[in-house]
């Protein structure tokens, strides 16, 4: 499995100049901001997509935008590849380096620069964690809406790179819907500002282009994000069904009815059992599928919305309906859901996929996903953001068995093709990275890929930013 995805060949001229490059970077950064000893580089050889590993040439950990610009300018001058890295939580290999690359980590850029309640914005450095933004404004009644399951560790810069979402993106949108501005360092070290505190700006929407570009157009060092007032109240409710197909059909009908809860999360029976064993959240164990539906607003608003959702659920033979009765119970319900990936890792190795499908196809895709995985002799646990069709099947396998690992990867690729064929796409929030790079041709025609690569090349003509990612390696010359 570790050799199934290819990388660009490391540049021999860069490798030959390693000692000179390290010495030059030492002139640009403080000693504690540059890592180059072999054993200290090991933690940076991979990210959360741990099937592939490459030890980088060096790791730069700048503390300011000016230092980022200096490193970028130097690497641009000598054609040295740069791999941006936030917290390393990428599940698609987005932060995996190459042997000739300098990893540019933003973990030291972790300051909250400005909280502006009048404009309802926060300006933060790219290394600030997702959860820290909400915690910094919580006492004043605000929060930052995107909430990936890794929000305790993942950073705002990484969220921007992958356009991350989370459980509450159904109502509040993903990162791009909550991002107002960035400070961006271009490949040659030029520093530009896109957007700001205003809701819109003149000219091309370059901010929208940068969000989700996976670190291939420039390095985000600061971001201005939208703050949202906390709702009057919030209430998660558990809905249990005998089958995944019934749960999927219920989700589709809720959205079709024009009802937009703040979140609709799905778990099938394997995921329910795994998460309950870990979190003791009180999930029902006698059902085949579970929906966590959260509504918010006044008590009257929540009661009215839940009444409509319960009526739809009953039309799909709902077996269990349990409303949350306390803040402690609500926290446990969400702890179970947000711990799903970690809880699964306690019992098996797994690959987490990230395809998105139209809601009308949920039931069909769930059924076919099970058939695909079982056809390879493996197990699958499904836990995902059902409200927007962003699926996260966890394919369980033994990473110490090369044949098992190859089967898991093949099953994952088949699932992603299934998502595209059902009218969806390859990714919802994890990005393309290296994991889905060679599947891009399944979704996009050559003319589409050529146009995207031309845009990428306009920002980075030398293709030194995050190489080997997103686009098929044999297609980049078309740009």
- pTM greater than the 0.85 cutoff: yes
In the prediction, which pLDDT does 324 show?
Answer: 87
234-341 has which CATH code?
3.30.70.2190
Output the pLDDT for position 477. Answer: 55
Do the two domains 112-229 and 348-421 of this chain adopt the same fold? no
- Sorting pLDDT into bands at 50, 70 and 90, what band is 6? confident
pLDDT band at 199 (very low <50, low <70, confident <90, very high): confident
Domain 348-421 = CATH 3.30.70.2740: yes
Return the pLDDT at 325: 84
Q: How far apart are CA 310 and CA 235, in angstroms?
A: 14
Between 131 and 51, where is the model more confident? 131
How confident is the model at residue 4, as a pLDDT?
58
More confident of the two residues 83 and 476:
83
The pLDDT tens digits of the residues spanning 16-49 come to: 999 999 999 999 999 999 999 999 999 999 998 8
Residue ranges covered by each domain of the chain: 112-229, 234-341, 348-421
- CA 68/CA 222 separation, integer angstroms: 11
User: In the CATH scheme, what architecture does the domain 112-229 have?
Assistant: 2-Layer Sandwich (3.30)
The yes-or-no verdict on residue 2 having pLDDT over 50 is: no
């Amino acid at each position: 499995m570790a050799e199934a995805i290819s990388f660009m060949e490391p540049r021999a001229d860069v490798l030959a100049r390693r000692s000179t490059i390290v010495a030059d970077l030492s002139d640009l950064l403080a000693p504690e901001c540059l890592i180059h000893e072999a054993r200290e580089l090991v933690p940076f050889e991979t990210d959360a997509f741990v099937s592939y590993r490459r030890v980088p040439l060096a790791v730069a950990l700048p503390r300011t935008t000016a230092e980022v610009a200096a490193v970028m300018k130097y690497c641009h001058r000598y054609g040295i590849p740069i791999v941006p890295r936030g917290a390393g939580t990428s599940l698609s290999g987005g932060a995996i380096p190459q042997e000739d690359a300098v990893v540019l980590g933003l973990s030291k850029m972790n300051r909250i620069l400005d909280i502006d309640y009048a404009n309802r914005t926060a300006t933060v450095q790219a290394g600030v964690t997702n959860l820290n933004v909400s915690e910094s404004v919580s006492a004043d009644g605000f929060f930052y809406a995107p909430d990936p399951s890794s929000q305790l560790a993942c950073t705002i810069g990484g969220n921007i790179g992958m356009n991350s979402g989370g459980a509450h993106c159904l109502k509040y949108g993903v990162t791009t819907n909550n991002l107002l501005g960035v400070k961006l360092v271009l490949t040659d070290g030029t520093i530009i500002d896109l957007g700001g505190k205003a809701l819109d700006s003149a000219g091309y929407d370059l901010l929208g282009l940068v969000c989700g570009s996976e670190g291939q157009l420039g390095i985000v060092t600061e971001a201005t994000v939208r703050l949202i007032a906390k709702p009057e109240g919030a209430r998660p409710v558990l809905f249990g069904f005998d089958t995944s197909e019934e749960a999927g059909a219920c989700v589709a009908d809720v959205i079709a009815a024009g009802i937009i809860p703040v979140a609709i999360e799905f778990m099938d029976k394997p995921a329910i059992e795994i998460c309950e064993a870990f979190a003791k959240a009180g999930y029902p164990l006698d059902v085949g599928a579970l929906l966590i539906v959260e509504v918010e607003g006044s008590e009257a608003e929540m009661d009215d919305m839940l009444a409509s959702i319960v009526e739809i659920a009953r039309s799909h033979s709902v077996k269990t309906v349990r409303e949350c009765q306390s803040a402690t119970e609500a926290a446990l319900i969400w702890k179970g859901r947000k711990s799903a990936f970690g809880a699964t890792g306690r019992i098996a190795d797994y690959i987490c996929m990230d395809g998105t499908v139209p809601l009308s196809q949920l039931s069909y895709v769930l059924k076919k996903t099970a058939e695909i995985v079982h056809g390879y002799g493996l197990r699958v646990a499904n836990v995902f953001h059902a409200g927007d069709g962003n699926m996260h099947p966890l394919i369980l396998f033994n990473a110490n068995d090369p044949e098992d690992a190859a089967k898991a990867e093949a099953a994952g690729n088949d699932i992603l093709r299934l998502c595209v064929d059902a009218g969806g796409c390859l990714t919802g929030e994890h990005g393309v990275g290296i994991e889905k790079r060679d599947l891009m041709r399944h979704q996009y025609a050559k003319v589409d890929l050529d146009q995207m690569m031309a845009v990428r090349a306009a920002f980075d003509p030398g293709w030194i930013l995050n190489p080997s990612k997103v686009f098929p390696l044999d297609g980049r010359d078309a740009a």
